[in-house]
Each structure stands twice: as C-alpha cells, then as structure tokens.
Amino acid sequence: MAAGRLAVARRITLARAWLDALRGTSHVVMSSADLRALLHLLTDRLAEALAAEPFSPAPGYEIGRLLADAGFTEPESLARTVGLLGAGTPDPTDRPEPEARARLAELLGELAAGHTAALRDRILTAQEALIRAALIARNRAESLLHATETRFRTVFAGSAVGIGISDLTGSILDANQALLDMLRHPLEELRQHSIADFVHPDDAAEVSAAYAALVRGERDHFQTDKPLYRGDGTVLWTHVTMSLIPEEPAGTGCVVTMFEDVTDRHLLETRLRYLATHDPLTQLPNRALLHENLNQVFADARPGDRLGICFVDLDGFKVVNDCFGHAVGDRLLVEVAGRLDKSVSTMGHLVARMGGDEFVILVADSTGPDQVIEVAERVLDALLLPMWIDDHELTVSASIGIVERRVAGTDPADMLRAADATLYRAKSDGKGRWALFDPLRNAYEMARYTLSAMMPSALAGGEFFVDYQPVVRLTDGVLAGVDARPRWRHPRQGLLGPDRFVSLAEETGQTATFSRWLLLTACEQAARWQQSYPGMSLFVSVGLSASQSEDPRLVEDVLRILDSTGLDPRRLQLELNRSAARANVEEPSAAVRALSARGVRFAMADFSLSHANLALMRSLPVHTLKIAEAFVQGLCPLEPDPSDLQIVTAIVSLAHGLGLTATADGVETATQAARLVDIGCDAGQGSFLGRPGPPEQVGRLLAMAAPGDSQPSVLPPALA
C-alpha cells in the first residue's frame, strides 16, 4: 500500500508542477481552486491510462480536449504540457523504461491530437458565430438604411415644399412633384437645366454666387426670397433655402434646394402696403405715401433741383354733404379724384388725398412756377364739367394754393405750410382759382397772424384803450353823444387803429373777448360821465361785430354790463356794421328787440341803401341810420357829386320817413356840414366836428357847458 500512497504523492506533485507550467501561458479565468481540481483530474486520468491493461492511448485524446476546453488554447500551453509530461510521468506500476516511455509517448500524441481537435472545433465555432453575427448586423444596417431611404423618399415625394437636388455645378439631378408642379416642367426637361435658369436674369448672378460659395464650403446654407419663372411665363414668389450635402469621397456631394411658395404672402404684403398707402375711398395715394414721396424728393435732390406743390381744396363741399348726404359727398369725392388722376397723373405727378376734400399734387423736378400753374389750370378745367351723381347735377370748383421753389433752402414741412397759406389766400380771394405763393403776402399774413396772436395778452395788459369822437347835432351844434373808437398802443408797431385789428379779431375768433372789453370800457366811461354830469343825456355808441350780433349771449352780456356799470340803457347805442348786415337775421333781430325793449338804441352803420341794408331794416328795430362816409365825401367839393347828393338826401328822407334819425359819418369840412344841415341830416361826426380823443377831452367839453344847458355846444360859434 505504500506504493499506492507514493503514487498519490507523486501525482499531486505532478499536478502542481503541471499547474505551475501552465500558469500565464493562456489567459484563463478559472479560479485557482478549480484549476487545481482540473489538473488533479487530468493527472489521475493520465496515470490510469498509463497503467491500464490492455493499454490504449485513447484517454490522452480526451485529456487534450479537456485542457483546451478549460481555456488553455495558447500553443505555449500545449508545449509546456507536453514538455513537462514527456520529461517523465511517474508510472505507478514501475514498468520497464522503454515500455513506459512508449506508452507515454502514445498518450501524449493523443493528447496533442485531442488538444488540436478541440482547438479546431473552438476556432471554427467561434468564426462561424462571428460571421453570422456580422451578417445579421449587416442585414440590420441595410434594413435600417432601406427604411431611412424609404423615409427620405416618402418625405421627398410627398412634401408640399418643392425640393430640388442638383450637383455641384448646379445641374438638376432630381426634383419632387411639388417642385415640378411649381415650375410646370416635366422632370426630364428639368434635368437639362440648372437651378439658375429659373430665376430672373437680374437675380441669376446672386444665386450663382451663393451656390458657388455653398459648394466651396464657405457657408452652410443660403436663404432668400426670389421670384421663380415658370415654363408658361408666369411668376411664382418663393422662399428658397439651399443646403450642401457633402458625400464621400471628398469633393462630391449635392445641393438640396427647397422652394416654398410664398406668393400668397407676397401678394398679401403687397396688398397691405397698398392699403397702408392709399385712400380707401378714392384709391388715390394717401397722406402717408405723399409724405414718403416728398421726403424721398428731398433726399434724392441734386443741387438746383426744384419742386412744386398744389394744395387743392374743393369749394363748398360742406354744402354738398349737408344738402345731399355723405353718400353723395363720397361719390363726389371719388369723381373728383378720378378727374384729378386722369388730368394730372398722366403728366407723371403724384396726386394724393390728404383727407376730407383736400388733395395735394406733387410736381417733382419742376421747371418753374409756370409748369405748376399749368397743372393747377388743368385741375380747374377738369372740374368745370358738372358731375352727375344720383340724378343730381353737381358742380364743384376748387381753390388751389401753389408753391414752387428750389429744393435747397426749404423742407417738406415748410413747403406744406406755404401751400396751405397760399390756399387760404386763394379761398379768401374768391375761390375757384389758384394762387401762387407770394413771399411778401406770406410775410404780411404772418405779420397779421402774429398780431392776432398778441391780442389776448395785449388786452389783458392794457395795451388797448378807447378814444371817443363827438357826435354832434347838426342843427344846433350840441354834443349828442360819442362814438367809442378802440385803439392799440402796440409796443413795437406803435398806435394801431381799429382797421388794423378789428377784422383781424373777427377772423381769428377773438372778437368776443375784444368786443366785451370795448363794450365794458365804453359803458364804464359813459356811466362815469352820467354820474358826474347827471343833467347831460349823452349816449355812447359802440360797434357790434357780426359774430357778436349772432351770439345768443349778447343780450345777457349787454344787460350784465349795463347792470354792473349802472349805465342807463338809453345812453347806449349799438352800431350794426356791414358784416352784421350780411349775417343771418334770426338771432340778431331777437336780441335787438330784447335790448331795444330795455331802452338800448341801435344804429345801422355804413348805410348805403343796399339790398342787405334795406332787408335788415325790415326786421331790426333801429333808431338811427349812419350814412356811409363814401357818400358824405361827395358833398365836400365846390360842386357836390350829384349822385352822392341824391343818395344822402334819399337816406335822410328814408330815415325821417320811418321815424329814424340820420347821422353822417366823415364830416370833414364846413361845406359838408352846411350841406348836411340843408339836407336835414340830424347829426354828424368827423374831423371837422371833433377828432377822436381821450375821455378827458369829452370831459372838458362837458365841463364847459353853461349851467342849465343839457348838452355842451361843440361847434364853433360861427356855424351855430
């Protein structure tokens, strides 16, 4: 049995030696314990095989396989194994050497064979598995590619956006249906063209340059909006995006161009711009477009360039609207716009509707005022023919303000202001005409405007004062009353008479303030006289403007002033002047009657037997007629003007016939006075009878009156 134990001990030693030999020869992942177990097993098998009767080398094959299967696949592992075992495997049976060695050799041969066989099987299995895996992977990739391509194809074919694929030179390779529809070309025909063939020649250079830059890699992609020209000649607006798709090998690739139809958007933008710059009613350019053009003219102007502007304003348009309604008014404007357009636009000038019934014509690069005047004349001519609107035959005229000057030295706002001012002049000159900007007139008007602007503060500041002119009873030269005459001591312009500011006040709407001041001042003064000289029955005469006489608060104002001043109403005379006479008779007559009932007297100034005067007399209860200066003038020379004489006589008898008094204005000479006395005129005023002067002057006259006289005498004793 010792032999048995020895054999075991020898086997353990061998197994350990084998393990040591194998260590590191192959990369094996078995744990040391497992490795030791394996090698013990193999060693035992080897020993058994060596000792077996009958002997067979077959087990060696199995040992070799097991070794390979354990992972000892490196050649080194086999080499070490064979080397170690071949050096002398202990034979438990102590057989004779040659036989033992022969058996070992055969076993090792089988071991090597088994190892190799196992290795071959492992390699083949591994390779087969790997190749299969590679094939599977490849198939999957191809499917994926196919799916991707299918996806791409679907997108390409079905896209509503036009897609074109071209090579690096621009030749079209492929186009999707959307693009074919857009361009209205079949694909084959398209393939013979390049992308640049479908843009406008003007755009072709830009597109080609961008394409080239794209191909060179200088930019990623290129976007633009371009019109595309179809096979049938029509145009399509497109938003174009080009991208480069590089491919391998380097230097190959293609360009993908996408065309998005933005015609609708383009049309919409165009339409919006049109709407923003044109008047919806007349379709003429609107004020915005005019300003744009005007500014452009100034921006583009070269030295020496000139331009002209006509401000055209329809006369009496308000009447049309009021009488026939706004629908008719609108159609009238459309008709007018049409005529303006026809007559002026053909000359290449811009006609714009500024608003309401106002139009502006811009004559750029004008050659002189004559050219622009001709334009204005054409406009006036065009409006001569009546217009038929809704069975109404309407005629309108226009007033036109023309400004024509060099571009240098002015600006758009200045031009428009000047044109406006000139238009105003055309209107006030009588309408239905053109007026050319006159720098002097303009300066004059500017001055008047400045003056009127200063009136309010002047009134408040006491620059205004009242002079009083005696009104004398011609029969006995007694002072009957005074005529209140306002004056303005202007700080710069000196003393200004009513002719300088009364109508100005009327025009600029400041009459109310002014008139109230005048009335108040005159009444206050008269009241003072009344108080100081109670025996005197002196009246004060104050002129009434048209707007005052129409003011419904006139009665209220006058009564308030009479109350506050304490003036006896019978001492106030209100004079209705020419403009009041022209006004609507309703309001004034009611006011006049009301005040008259309180005792206020009324005179009609500047009386001239005109239709208006006479008509007014029928409705207004006046007390006095003041004969116009013009006629009194005619009484002055040695041989009086016969007609003037007649007229004055007529007025006096008319007055007396109606129970009124007659007063003559402008009595400057003794002759006039004498003749007036002869005619029977009751009273007069004028430089012969007394110049307007401060209240103190009147006061002196009153003071000089002999006690007991009701009124002082003013005439030189010679005439009395």
Q: Does the footprint of other proteins cover residue 45 (CB under 8 A)?
A: no
Q: Does the footprint of other proteins cover residue 612 (CB under 8 A)?
A: no
List 6, 8, 9, 24, residue binding other proteins (CB under 8 A): 24
Q: Does the footprint of other proteins cover residue 26 (CB under 8 A)?
A: yes
Q: Does the footprint of other proteins cover residue 154 (CB under 8 A)?
A: no
> Do the Cβ atoms of 11 and 53 come closer than 8 Å?
no
Query: Least Å distance between CB 165 and other proteins?
Result: 17
Binding segment toward other proteins, per CB under 8 A, in 135-143, 226-234, 481-489, 557-565: 135-143
Bridge-partner residues for 484, per DSSP?
468
List 123, 327, 460, 674, residue binding other proteins (CB under 8 A): 123
Q: Does the footprint of other proteins cover residue 342 (CB under 8 A)?
A: no
Please state at what angle helix 97-158 crosses helix 58-69, rounded to 10 degrees.
Answer: 40
**Residue number, 122 or 287, with CB nearest to other proteins:** 122
Q: Does the footprint of other proteins cover residue 144 (CB under 8 A)?
A: yes
Binding segment toward other proteins, per CB under 8 A, in 22-30, 164-172, 537-545, 670-678: 22-30
> Do the Cβ atoms of 693 and 468 come closer than 8 Å?
yes
Query: Least Å distance between CB 124 and other proteins?
Result: 8
List 6, 9, 58, 134, residue binding other proteins (CB under 8 A): 134
CA distance 330 to 368: 34
List 141, 446, 674, 720, residue binding other proteins (CB under 8 A): 141
**Residue number, 119 or 307, with CB nearest to other proteins:** 119
List 12, 71, 95, 159, residue binding other proteins (CB under 8 A): 71
The Cβ-side half-sphere exposure at 698, using a 13 Å CA radius, reads 30
Instruction: Tokens for 110, please give them.
Output: 């089988």
List 10, 95, 122, 490, residue binding other proteins (CB under 8 A): 122
Query: Least Å distance between CB 40 and other proteins?
Result: 17
Query: Least Å distance between CB 221 and other proteins?
Result: 16
Binding segment toward other proteins, per CB under 8 A, in 21-29, 388-396, 537-545, 684-692: 21-29
Region label for 420, one of left (φ > 0), alpha (ψ between -120 and 50) or beta (otherwise):
alpha
List 83, 88, 132, 535, residue binding other proteins (CB under 8 A): 132
Instruction: Tokens for 15, please give them.
Output: 């197994």
Q: Does the footprint of other proteins cover residue 81 (CB under 8 A)?
A: no
Query: Least Å distance between CB 128 and other proteins?
Result: 10
Query: Least Å distance between CB 71 and other proteins?
Result: 6
Q: What are the φ/ψ torsions at residue 538 (nearest 5 degrees)?
A: -100, 135
Q: Does the footprint of other proteins cover residue 710 (CB under 8 A)?
A: no
**Residue number, 147 or 319, with CB nearest to other proteins:** 147
What does the angle CA 715 – CA 719 – CA 720 come to, to the nearest 5 degrees? 70
Instruction: Tokens for 151, please give them.
Output: 């996806």
Please state at what angle helix 511-532 crosses helix 695-704, rounded to 10 degrees.
Answer: 20
List 1, 29, 440, 638, residue binding other proteins (CB under 8 A): 29
Query: Least Å distance between CB 17 and other proteins?
Result: 15
List 1, 32, 251, 707, residue binding other proteins (CB under 8 A): 32
Q: Does the footprint of other proteins cover residue 217 (CB under 8 A)?
A: no
Instruction: Tokens for 236, please give them.
Output: 């399509």
Q: Does the footprint of other proteins cover residue 140 (CB under 8 A)?
A: yes
CB-based contacts of 239, cutoff 8 Å, min separation 6: 223, 224, 225, 259, 260, 262
> What is the size of the binding site for other proteins (CB under 8 A)?
34
- What residue ranges in 509-649 does DSSP mark as E strands? 539-544, 572-576, 601-607, 624-627
DSSP-derived 3-state class of residue 325: coil
Binding segment toward other proteins, per CB under 8 A, in 133-141, 455-463, 530-538, 703-711: 133-141
List 2, 4, 27, 534, residue binding other proteins (CB under 8 A): 27
**Residue number, 219 or 406, with CB nearest to other proteins:** 219
Query: Least Å distance between CB 240 and other proteins?
Result: 25
CA distance 212 to 186: 26
Query: Least Å distance between CB 220 and other proteins?
Result: 13
Q: Does the footprint of other proteins cover residue 23 (CB under 8 A)?
A: yes
Q: Does the footprint of other proteins cover residue 136 (CB under 8 A)?
A: yes
Q: Does the footprint of other proteins cover residue 246 (CB under 8 A)?
A: yes
The Cβ-side half-sphere exposure at 576, using a 13 Å CA radius, reads 30
Query: What string of H, E and C letters represents the secondary structure of 457-485?
Result: HHHHCCCEEEEEEEEEECCCCEEEEEEEE
Binding segment toward other proteins, per CB under 8 A, in 26-34, 307-315, 335-343, 613-621: 26-34
> Quick one: CA dihedral 67, 71, 73, 74, positive or negative?
negative
> Do the Cβ atoms of 689 and 473 come closer than 8 Å?
no
CA distance 527 to 541: 13
**Residue number, 125 or 493, with CB nearest to other proteins:** 125
Q: Which long-range contacts (CB under 8 A, 24 or more apart) does 44-49 make?
A: 44/11, 46/85, 46/89, 46/107, 47/7, 47/11, 47/89, 47/90, 47/92, 49/107
Q: How far is C-alpha 104 from the chain's CA centre?
A: 111
Q: Does the footprint of other proteins cover residue 630 (CB under 8 A)?
A: no
CA distance 336 to 330: 10
The footprint of other proteins on residues 247-276 (CB under 8 A) is: 248
Indicate the pairing of strand 572-576 with strand 387-389.
Answer: unpaired
Residues binding other proteins (CB under 8 A): 23-33, 71, 73-74, 122-123, 125-127, 129-130, 132-134, 136-138, 140-141, 144-145, 148, 246, 248
